[in-house]
Structure 1
Amino acid sequence: MTNIAYFKDQFEDIAEPDSAIREITKTAFDTFNQLGLPTYKLEEWKYTNISSLFDKNYQFSKDNFQDKLSPSDLQALNLAGEEEAHALYFINGRFAAGLSKINATENELVVLPLQEAAKGPYQKIIAEHLGSSSKYLKDGLHALNTAFIQDGVFIYLPKGKQLALPLYLHHINHADTENVLSQPRSLVYLAENTNLQLIETYTTLGSMESFSNEVMEIVLQENAYLAYYKLQNDGPNAAQVSSTQIHQLGKSYVQTLTIALNGGVIRNNLNLILEAEGNETHLYGLSLLKGNSHVDHHTLVDNKRPNCFSNQLYKGIADDTATGVFSGRIIVQRDAQKTNAYQSSKNIILSDRATINAKPQLEILADDVKCSHGCTVGQLDEEAMFYLRARGIPLKEAESLLLRGFAADILDQIKLKPLRKHIEQLILAHLAST
């Protein structure tokens, strides 16, 4: 079992006494020692038993395998329309600067190893924002990632820079000879009047087990715009906990979209902190689950200032013995008058053995707001199915048509046309195999 004693040995082995972030990592490891791994006995983890995964003897990889990946290997991981885009690679959770590329036409995008950035001109930004998500993500896995920050990445977009090309982050786990535990870490900072489209993908190479424990912290200043897409389409041997915190310090706009198609046990923590008056954020999610897949979406939108707007729409389709979880929490602080906040979870169950757990939550401390939440769990519309079958459409094709229609309003939110087309093709293939 990968236990706390093992983590302690590894922590002492990789510790860097002169590291610019040494104090952060030490404090985080003390927190991990205190909290341990989350269990289903904790309210926030009652539907996802992540501790059982650590019976698989994961190992910290001593090699990031950069030399074993050829340009053709990387090209095979590219998504449609990525040829000219910016691309960063994490191998076994460690930022591979030598494999990454920044398009020369937009070289104002700053990408640095986190340790290097913490010692340079961005020292103040990192000191202020690295680890700030621990105020909201109070569990042992988040602390474990922070304790083992190693080869993380700092991404900075200077004031006034509007990137036309998207930025892709590819997470690759090499699990060909041993079970791998990877812990990617990134800090993204968007200065005033900036625009960024960010896409994350995940791939496990090899037949052994992989577990990715990722933390990403994103900060937006005044008039910054962020479109953030996460595509989870890995194998059944891949487990993942992904914790993302987006801090809207200035009046800004955020759109997030998470697509979960394949994988083992997946937990997505997504926190939006609306710190400035007039912030706007949209959260979308789509899960197509089959086999024994387990996907748990946890969202938090904390409205701190007046006149903010947020909208959440998460949809799930569960077949076979798959399990889907949605837990959404909206907080409206006392000073956040005139807040508009909406949340909806809609789900379809295709099998008697599939499970959907939904827990929408509102915490309203202000008295002049418009807030709502709702949840539905049901089956395919029998009348619509009868209509299609009566016109000669076979059963599987009729089901596929209805499910594609169910997912359409989520896919329509993807602004990058090549990415949207690619995901639509993945969904078609996914539905055809059910």
Structure 2
Amino acid sequence: MMTTATTSKLFTQVQSLFQASGGFASIRQQAVESLENQGFPVAKAEEYKFTNLSKKLENGLTNASFAEPFSIDQATVDAHIFADFDGDVLVFTNGSWNKELSKVTQDYSVEVISEDGLLGAISKPGKDAFADLNTAAFQEAIKISVAKGKVIEKPVLLIHFNQANEGQIVMPRLLVQVDEIAQVTLLEYAVCLDEEVYFSNALTEVKVAAGSYVKFFRLQNQSSKAILMDTMETDIHRDAVFTSVKISLAADMIRNNLTLNLLDSGCEGNMYGLYLLNGKTHVDNHTNVDHTMPHAVSNELYKGILTDSSRGVFNGKIFVRQDAQKTNAFQQNNNILLSENAIINTKPQLEIWADDVKCSHGCTTGQLDEEALFYLQARGLDKTQAKGMLLYAFAGEVLEFISDEPFKAHITNLVMERLGTQF
């Protein structure tokens, strides 16, 4: 169920941000029409049943406006790059690319898109209201291109610096196009330079052409007042492999939409996630895997540790179309609750129209194993150390999918700090 857009407070708040030109008139018009027809989701909308993002924004965006690009110096950038990083850096301020502070040394291209027809081919208007909002209102779209046969040896870090007045919106828009038999690893995180309430509504489209390998590792560790909407949709072609790892540690409310379209035989899509939630943090992971052709593989593992009055949501859908024979699809969601007030809503789903497939899904929710806790304490660890070791072992399974060692070490330190472990 959607609210009527013309009576929606949120629609009225953001309507002035819609762009009428800028070289993207056609796709913007489609997005605006979708918003006008469907509006933003209300509390009873099935896809946002446990995450009333519209209400949160109505309260937080009393005077919605764009957060403008701002000046930043090299010292500030360097201070927020994790230890031992060795690669290229793309710097963004409030969603706009800062070319002067970015470092591009390898054989790929970065550009601001000005022509129509490139955006929206993967993430089409009409699928989600907040993706439509991005399409209707983004200020600048960036394209990262890796040409056929190019292997980008070192990772590319996308670091977003956000500095917004209360109620402002950051609207990042990114297109990643990796041509045939190419390889690249992308890392991404954002840095809040103040503690104001703001809304980041990001949309990323990724094309993984035949025979290519793309890894995208992302960290969400922002201020307790940040409201985040992050949408990523990928097209994966013949014999290509795409791997996503998303680590969610801090913000006020986070909604992650991730869609993998497996469009040809022999392709593989991997989705891994970890969320460590405390206070009143709310994180909602919605994933979709669409198997359309035979002999494709998908793997999905999301894990959560929740304490205090935090809330987690996991809704994972796997579609296996009639032509997608010999599909191999795996999905699992596991959660540990450390307090009586923490809440998890989990819903793994399979929809299968083919008859020769291997698919499995499941979820678990529980507390720490008391026998394992007692065993570790009996061998000299105090209760805090034993608890931390068990929690880290639980979380570490997801961290192992991060192949960039310095980034993995950085995130591991954050996770250990959160879990209170010292070993």
TM-score, length of structure 2 as denominator length: 0.94
Select 1:349's aligned residue among 334, 337, 348: 337
Letter in 2 for 1:88: L
- In the alignment, structure 1 residue 60 sits paired with structure 2 residue 65: yes
- In 1: Cα distance, 2:223 partner to 2:148 partner: 39
Letter in 1 for 2:326: K
Tell me the alpha carbon deviations over residues 33-75 of structure 1, each in whole angstroms, 9 at most, x when there is no partner: 222222221111101110122212253236310x2x1111111
Where in structure 2 are the equivalents of 1:25-424 lying within 5 Å? 25-54=28-57, 55-56=59-60, 57=62, 59-61=64-66, 63-65=68-70, 67=71, 69-82=72-85, 84-103=86-105, 106=106, 108-115=107-114, 118=115, 127=117, 130-134=120-124, 138-175=127-164, 177-424=165-412
Question: CA contact under 8 A between 1:321 and 1:353: conserved in structure 2?
Answer: yes
Displacement after TM superposition at 1:410 (Å): 1.1
Displacement after TM superposition at 1:29 (Å): 1.4
Tell me the alpha carbon deviations over residues 289-324 of structure 1, each in whole angstroms, 9 at most, x when there is no partner: 111011111110000000001111111000000111
- In 1: Cα distance, 2:365 partner to 2:67 partner: 45
Query: 1:121 maps to which residue?
Result: none
Tell me the alpha carbon deviations over residues 371-427 of structure 1, each in whole angstroms, 9 at most, x when there is no partner: 010100000001001112223322211110100111121111111111111111111
Spell out structure 1 runs of 4+ moving beyond 6 A: none
Question: CA contact under 8 A between 2:91 and 2:160: conserved in structure 1?
Answer: yes
With 424-433 and 214-223 compared, the bigger mean Cα shift is at 424-433
Q: 1:179 to 1:76 in 2, by over 3 A?
A: farther
Letter in 2 for 1:112: E
Query: 1:123 maps to which residue?
Result: none
Question: CA contact under 8 A between 2:134 and 2:173: conserved in structure 1?
Answer: yes
TM-score, length of structure 1 as denominator length: 0.91
Displacement after TM superposition at 1:2 (Å): 6.7
- In 2: Cα distance, 1:62 partner to 1:133 partner: 24
Displacement after TM superposition at 1:140 (Å): 1.4
Displacement after TM superposition at 1:128 (Å): 5.3
Question: CA contact under 8 A between 1:340 and 1:370: conserved in structure 2?
Answer: yes
**Unmatched 5+ residue regions in structure 1?**
119-125
- SS of 1:306 mapped into structure 2: coil
Displacement after TM superposition at 1:340 (Å): 0.5
Letter in 2 for 1:214: A
Query: 2:3 maps to which residue?
Result: none
- In 1: Cα distance, 2:67 partner to 2:50 partner: 33
- In 2: Cα distance, 1:358 partner to 1:64 partner: 38
Question: CA contact under 8 A between 1:25 and 1:149: conserved in structure 2?
Answer: no
Pairwise CA RMSD of aligned residues? 1.7
- In 2: Cα distance, 1:63 partner to 1:210 partner: 12
- In 2: Cα distance, 1:151 partner to 1:330 partner: 33
Letter in 2 for 1:110: S
Letter in 1 for 2:46: E
Select 2:14's aligned residue among 4, 7, 29: 7
Question: CA contact under 8 A between 1:131 and 1:146: conserved in structure 2?
Answer: no
Total equivalences in the alignment: 412
